[in-house]
Amino acid sequence: MLICPQCKFENPNSNKFCQNCGTSLAHKVCPECSADDVPVNALRCHNCGTECGTVFWAIITKETTGEALRIEGDVGDEQAIPSSSPVSPSSQITLGSYLDSQERYQLLDTLPAQTETEIITDVSARVLDCQPYQISPIDAILASQESDLLTPSVEASGIPRLAKLYLALQSQGERGIPLIHDAWQQGDIQVLIIENRSDWQYLLDLWQQETTSSLKILHWCYEMTQLWAVLEPVNCRQSLLDLSNLRLDEDQTLALQRLYVESSNSQPATESPEDAENQTSAIPEEPLTIQALGRVWQALFRQSQRTQFGSVVQMLGDLEVGKIQTIDQLRSRLEEISIELEALGTATLPPIQENNTAVSTIPPSDELEDIISKTDDMPTVVLAMQLSSLEDAGRTDVGRQRHHNEDYFGIETKIHKLELPKSRVLEGYGLYILCDGMGGHAGGEIASELAVNTLRQYFQEHWIANQLPTEDSIREAVYLANEAIYKLNQQDARSGVGRMGTTLVMLLIQDTQAAVAHVGDSRLYRLTRKQGLEQVTVDHEVGQREINRGVEASIAYARPDAYQLTQALGPRDENSINPDVGFFDINEDTLLLLVSDGLSDNDLVETHWQTHLEPLLSSGANLERGVTDLIDLANQHNGHDNITGILIRAKVRPNLES
């Protein structure tokens, strides 16, 4: 099944174009030079050389048998590893070869070759997904548990043991753990394909920067205690003890590059990322206790050449001699130190929050087999999320060919924040309306402004606090906006093309719930790191109507009236419109974009989202600058119409009290 990168429609594997929206399924657009004929299985653009392939991180691990993985360091004599049959120790894993018999995952890195004294049982490397539009096999297997529709790569031997640990942690909504994309068992070899975090910033690199505050460091220590509590029930605490495995996401939140399962092999904590490029074990000789965390922190201070301050020196000493024995005691000590720093006026961040504590839902067990057997029957649970920030920016521009602006927009955002020493609750309300008027001077701009103001007034009166409006309420608001414009047309005896009207796209947000309503061809796009760019709304125009009736996209949009609207607000009474209303949850950091067709024409958003939208997911990115850049881009490539855009960035985090 091929998932369209634009509209997410599911297509048969034989399709070359999406049967819903006509997007190519054999080629992709280069984000740098906009070349639209880059093969989907290419790592780089043939025109400008930009890396635009879909890259994952592969883990190839051999169950402990005393035998090593067979690693070949050169490109010659490449041999694919079949995923449907066991792999013998002599099977070759070489640069440029495929990890699976379907030739989907191609190695991009040279793997370390074993020496006479070193036995390699676990290697990791980047891989290129040569079939990026295929549905994630892991997602498919979870979605089809009841129908027994398994993908070929996991069908033979089921989900490997290590993969089940990722899935169990993923079900808790723990963002520090990389997402798993595919996995299969090959005899005694497990192959996992996970999110690629190899280019994420090392924790050590930011730890050693002089501009990093002491409170920031305490916050990372606290995040390690959170991950410790999550990893302990599944025997993966070792993942925290390798400095090269400790990374930061774009919000400078602690994250792991991969999971390591605790074993009897013991090695000291890693000294530096460079020395630990291929190290997979860093647990001390004695059974793991929270003293191991203290030694990791000591290693971070030592490697960063950063001076420990008094309270931290005392805490690390108490950890080492056993005065601090539980995670709760360690968290309390970290909170005390953060409050002390704030009192001294040296901190730049709020106190470490108790309600961020991760709570494991997997019952403790001393044996990995017990854990895996219990996770086999675990339902897939998505942890409830709560809003952590809601930001927005909007702008409209007349364009380069029009003399007046018929677009109009409205933004209303209300944030209620309750912050206590051990809790922080953010409640967000957002109403975002964009209208693209029609009907000429003194017509289109009147219709669009009237629609926005009517909708704003309606929701000021009818939006119940802390509740997202119902579908019936949203429809009633749209019909009232239509009626207001329609009555004005009737009063002025406007007829034909002189009747004013407007398109509408409206987004409503209440905390992590959202609703969208639209009439016409103004659009809502949604961008997340996991799903990429999605067009949420479907245009109300003749070409799209024909596609919905089964006509091929190329034929539907060859019509001379293909881009003519099939409905709009105002020209006719409410019986002639049928607004689309939909609902969705915001369960990961999300960027939402409302646009008029002056910005969306000629696939401008689809072509440039990786350069102009994806960076805006970062908390440090300026949305005002971002929307201005979008307007400038539209004027450069379109410019024939008015241009309007509204950006909304919603950040979320797990609601561990739910």
pLDDT tens digits, residue range 339-372?
A: 887 666 544 433 344 433 333 333 333 444 454 4
Claim to verify: residue 229 and residue 257 sit in the same structural domain:
yes
* 599-619 pLDDT per residue, tens: 999 899 999 998 899 989 988
Q: Does residue 312 fall inside a structural domain?
A: yes
Per mean pLDDT, which of 32-36, 115-119, 355-359, 380-384 is the most reliable?
32-36
Do 629 and 411 contact (CB within 8 A), yes or no? no
| Residue 355 located in a structural domain | yes
> Percentage of the chain surpassing pLDDT 70?
79
**Does the pLDDT at position 331 exceed 80?**
yes
Query: Considering the domain boundaries, does residue 582 fall inside one?
Result: yes
> What is the domain range of residue 73?
55-199
Structure-block tokens of residue 136? 């994630």
**CA 625 from centroid of its chain's CA atoms:** 22
Shared-domain flag, residues 391 and 372:
no
Kindly state whether residues 489 and 347 are assigned to the same domain: no
How do residues 86-110 score in pLDDT, each as one tens digit? Answer: 333 334 567 788 988 889 999 998 8
Task: Supply the pLDDT for residue 159.
Answer: 82
State the average pLDDT over residues 52-59.
94
Position 558 in a domain: no
Which residue from 583, 373, 601 is spatially nearest to 475, judged by alpha carbons? 583
Classify residue 559: in a domain, yes or no. no
State whether 245 and 317 are in the same domain: yes
Burial class (CB in 10 A: 0-12, 13-18, 19+), 461: exposed
Give the count of domains, the chain. 4
Global pTM? 0.62
Q: How far is CA 99 from the centre of its chain?
A: 26
Are 136 and 246 in the same domain? Answer: no
Q: What is the pLDDT of residue 150?
A: 42
- In the chain, the amino acid numbered 141 is I
- Least-confidence region, from 15-19, 152-156, 355-359, 619-623: 355-359
Taking only the tens place, the pLDDT of each residue in 183-226 is 988 788 899 999 999 999 999 999 998 888 888 888 899 889 98
Confidence of residue 268 (pLDDT cuts 50, 70, 90): very low
**Which of 171, 199, 227 is the endpoint of a domain?**
199
Mean pLDDT value across residues 488-508: 86
Bridge partners of 58, per DSSP, are: 125, 193
Q: What is the mean pLDDT of the chain?
A: 81
Shared domain check, 451 and 467: yes
Do 396 and 361 reside in the same domain of the chain? no
Residue 604 within a domain: yes
Picking from 332, 359, 376, the residue at the C-terminal end of a domain is 376
Average pLDDT over residues 479-492: 93
Between 340 and 414, the more confident residue is 414
How far from 512 is each of 383, 617, 619, CA to CA, in Å? 13, 16, 17
pLDDT above 50 (res 474): yes
Residues 169 and 209 in one domain: no
In a domain, 549, yes or no: no
Contact 405, 449 (CB under 8 A): no
β-pair type (55-62, 10-11): unpaired
Q: Could you give the CA distance from residue 601 to residue 123 in angstroms, rounded to a whole number?
A: 46
Question: What is the structure's pLDDT at 273?
Answer: 40
**Pair 70, 146 in one domain:** yes
Query: What angle (nearest 5°) sits at the alpha carbon of residue 652, between those of residues 648 and 653?
Result: 170
User: Taking residues 307-328, what's their average pLDDT?
Assistant: 88
Distance (Å, whole) CA 520 – CA 294: 59
For residues 80 and 66, membership in a common domain is answered with yes
CATH number of the structural domain spanning residue 406: 3.60.40.10
**Same domain, yes or no, for 22 and 130?**
no
Task: Tell whether 40 is covered by a domain.
Answer: yes
Chosen domain end from 320, 347, 376:
376
The model's pLDDT over 382-393, given as tens digits with 9 standing for 90+, comes to 457 889 899 999
End-to-end CA distance of the chain: 36
The first and second tokens of residue 380, run together, are: 């897939």
Do both 17 and 105 map to the same domain? Answer: no
Residue found by looking up tokens 């997904």 in the block: 129
